[in-house]
Amino acid sequence: DLLTQGGWLSLAEPHPAVASAWRKAASERAELGDESPDGRLVCFAGGDKLELWDTASDKTLIAIDTQRPDDLVATTAGCVTLKAGQLGSYGINGQLTNWSATASALGPASNGVLGIEGDQVTRWSASGDKGTPLTGASGAVAVGASGDGAVIGFADGSLTRLSRGQSLPLAS
């Protein structure tokens, strides 16, 4: 589902999304938001609050008073946030598990997230297991998954694809 200026739209079906408490809350409070890959969880942040909702039960799982993150990604296990280099995950129990103190970007990946740490792109599973990093991300400001690697973006608009430690320019 997508929140637009005209309200909620279902991207999977040709009719408007069904009204729900989590959609109403996101409409009123969300400044950042994401849906887990399986569609079961929605995470959003606004003001000084982070919320994680179960879409099936239409219930809030966690509502935490915290500074608004710079970025967030919903996973099947909770909400991963990035704030001032601190990358961590809030599980459905509301507890924060710190994953990195040096992250500069966060992006979704299949069953987890990608983060940039210095010149490396690291993949974490939804449960927080850290994968083998790819090198070549120095100066990157954005990251996203691409097959077995990652596409990283730079402030000048250029992109690079990293795969198995090799970098392949996509655009300049």
60-97 pLDDT, tens digit each: 999 999 999 999 999 999 999 999 999 999 999 999 99
Amino acid at 10: S
Check pLDDT > 70 for residue 172.
no
Q: Which pLDDT band, with edges at 50, 70 and 90, does 141 fall under?
A: very high
User: Two tokens at 104?
Assistant: 């500069």
Q: Percent of the chain having pLDDT more than 70? A: 85
The answer, yes or no, to whether residue 50 has pLDDT greater than 50, is yes
The answer to whether residues 151 and 137 touch, using CB atoms and an 8 Å cutoff, is no
In this predicted structure, what is the pLDDT of residue 110?
82
Beta strands in 25-102 (DSSP E): 32-35, 41-46, 49-54, 59-65, 71-75, 78-83, 86-91, 96-100
